[in-house]
Amino acid sequence: MYDKNDPRALLATQAAAKPKVFTSYTPSDYLRFYEDPPQQSDERARGWIGRGGAAVIVYSETKAGATFARRGQADEWVILLPDAASGAQLTIAGRAHDLAGYSITFVPPGDSVLTMPDGGRVVRMFTSAHASDLAGQASNAAGHRDPNPNLSAYAPWPVPTSGYKVRSYSLDVPDVPGRFGRIWRCTTFMVNLFAPQRGPRDVTKLSPHHHDEFEQYSLALEGSFMHHLRWPWTPNMKMWRGDENEFCSTPSLAVIPPPAIHTSRGLAPGANLLVDIFAPPRLDFSNIAGWVLNADDYPMP
């Protein structure tokens, strides 16, 4: 259910699938990194880890010289540098790639070392299937020991015709009427970085909606939010759940499982910045021309 001016109203024109029958629900997660101790910590970095059924999100605050190594990573992963003043260097097979601040980078499979020369914030995204070490460290790992039966079987999208390589994109993209946020995708993830919302969201223009087969990871990087969730009723009253209205400041991660009806409301008087993350990429968003900013680099299934 979208406001008539919400670009996602276009999704209603896409063919509707046969309604899915749910026999159980998996709880949502609200990870308030600002309240919780980090899962990773040394003299140069503190990192908070959250996961869902498909993905692992690592949010880190670093000092100059912090490094993060991945050995034998089996699939593509993501680096988000949300601040213009905090760039990074990614080293693969002896070659150094300079990553500008305020950018998103897709990293090919294999060995790599990420360095933060000047420190700052960095967000890394991995599939849970190929980052079991990080998934096991997540603060909410206990709730995801069993697979979520409501998630579709995970499958990566096609490899680019030009093959895997480091692909980095500036986040400095102006808003365009009719386009929803700023969306990039790779073989494993779709990331939507919204323009900062200034002041509280208009409560007469919310966007309650649901997904039948995939999770949404909503990462708060500025301001504060109220996440509203409602669970559909079923013939089995034992499945029913109460409404959720969860306050989350920055930094935090909400993991929203299917088929919860959800919408988020920015609350802070200044900037409110949310990043929505999906694994694998969303087909519905990809089907709308112009929404995925790097669509030419990554073919659809």
- pLDDT above 80 for 5: no
The answer to whether 294 touches 243, Cβ cutoff 8 Å, is no
Mean pLDDT of 269-296: 98
Whole-structure pTM value: 0.94
* pLDDT value at residue 16: 53
CATH topology of domain 7-295: Jelly Rolls (2.60.120)
Region of 65 (left: φ > 0; alpha: ψ -120 to 50; beta: rest) is: left
Counting residues of the chain whose pLDDT is more than 70, the rounded percentage is 96
Q: What is the dihedral of CA 128, 133, 138, 140, to 10 degrees?
A: 60
Rounded Cα distance between 265 and 119, Å, is 30
Give the span between the Cα atoms of 51 and 141, in whole angstroms: 7
- Strand 88-92 relative to strand 110-116, pairing: antiparallel
Q: Quick one: average pLDDT of 24-50?
A: 97
- The token pair at 205 is 């223009």
Average pLDDT on 1-23 reads: 70
**Of 169, 166, 190, nearest in space to 100 by CA:** 169
Give the model confidence (pLDDT) of 98-146 as tens digits.
999 999 999 999 999 999 999 999 999 999 999 999 999 999 999 999 9
At residue 76 the predicted structure's pLDDT band, cuts being 50, 70 and 90, is very high
**pLDDT at 21 (0 to 100):** 86
Question: What is the three-state SS of the chain?
Answer: CCCCCCHHHHHHHCCCCCCCCCCCCCCCEEEECCCCCCCEECCCEEEEEEECCCEEEEEEEECCCEEEEEEEECCCEEEEECCCCCCEEEEECCEEEEECCCEEEEECCEEEEEEECCCEEEEEEEEHHHCHHHHHHCCCHHHHCCCCCCCCCCCCCCCCCCCCCCEEEECCCCCCCCCCCEEEECCCCEEEECCCEECCCCCCCCCCECCCCCCEEEEEEECCEEEEEECCCCCCHHHCCCCEEEEECCCEEEEECCCCEEEEEECCCCEEEEEEEECCCCHHHHCCCCCECCHHHCCCC
pLDDT band at 11 (very low <50, low <70, confident <90, very high): confident
**Confidence at 9, pLDDT banded by 50, 70, 90:** confident
Considering the chain, what is the average pLDDT of its residues? 95
Q: For the segment 150-163, what is each residue's pLDDT rounded down to a tens digit?
A: 999 999 999 998 99
Two tokens at 208? 């309650």
Residue with tokens 């990462």: 219
Q: Looking at residues 20-44, what average pLDDT do you find?
A: 96
Domain ranges of the chain: 7-295
